[in-house]
């Protein structure tokens, strides 16, 4: 699949989560985030979910008030990317239970942990929802046991 980055941002253009699968200098990242938010938010409703930006394919989808947006190599299949985004949403939904934007804002590290179990280095790591949630639960258990002050 080779995703280069995955961004979650709100309708107002506020970044909610960013994952960079290839190391990119900080300044470049900021530029990409800015370009993505303006480009994607500037799209008219009912237009298609794909964009071209430089030599990348941008695939995005809006879930409620949150935009999920990822950058792929030009030869990648955008439909597959949509499936990947959707699967991530499903995983978040399963973990948080009817996930909403606030869940991701307040537990943003959890959102990352889930993502890390699903994708690795931009590739799909695990296609089974059960396996992903099981490993997240196991890691959380480990964390609960070890101590509490840091967690809620």
**Residue 147 binding other proteins, by CB under 8 A:** yes
CB of 16 to other proteins, least distance (A): 8
State which of residues 10, 13, 20, 133 lies at the interface with other proteins (CB under 8 A).
20
Contact between 25 and other proteins by CB under 8 A: the answer reads: yes
**How near is the Cβ of 45 to other proteins at its closest, in Å?**
21
Which residue in this structure is represented by tokens 């590739």?
123
Give DSSP secondary structure letters for 77-138: -HHHHHHHHHHHHHHHHHHHTS--HHHHHHTHHHHHHHHHHHEETTEE----HHHHHHHHHH
How many CA atoms are closer than 13 Å to the CA of 11, on its beta-carbon side?
7
Is 143 a binding residue for other proteins by CB under 8 A? The answer is: yes
Cα four-point dihedral sign 87, 64, 53, 25? negative
Q: For residue 43, give the DSSP letter.
A: S
- Which value, in Å, is the radius of gyration of the alpha carbons in the chain? 16
Q: Applying CB under 8 A, does 101 fall inside the site for other proteins? A: no
Residue 48 in contact with other proteins, rule: CB under 8 A: no
* Min separation Cβ 126 and other proteins, Å: 5
Residue with tokens 């979650």: 8
Residues within the interface to other proteins (CB under 8 A) = 1-2, 15-18, 20-21, 23-26, 30, 55, 73-75, 77, 79-80, 83, 105-106, 108-109, 112-113, 116, 120-121, 123-128, 131, 135, 138-139, 142-143, 146-147, 149-152
């Amino acid at each position: 699949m080779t995703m280069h980055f995955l961004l979650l941002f709100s309708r107002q253009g506020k970044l909610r989560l960013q994952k960079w699968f290839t190391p990119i200098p900080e300044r470049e990242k900021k530029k990409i985030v800015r370009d993505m938010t303006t480009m994607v938010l500037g799209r008219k409703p009912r237009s298609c979910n794909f964009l071209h930006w430089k030599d990348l394919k941008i695939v995005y989808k809006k879930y409620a008030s949150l935009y999920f947006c990822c950058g792929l190599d030009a030869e990648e299949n955008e439909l597959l990317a949509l499936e990947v985004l959707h699967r991530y949403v499903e995983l978040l939904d399963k973990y948080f239970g009817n996930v909403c934007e606030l869940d991701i804002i307040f537990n943003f590290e959890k959102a990352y942990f889930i993502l890390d179990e699903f994708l690795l280095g931009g590739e799909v790591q695990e296609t089974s929802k059960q396996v992903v949630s099981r490993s997240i639960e196991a890691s959380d258990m480990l964390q609960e046991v070890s101590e509490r002050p840091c967690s809620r």
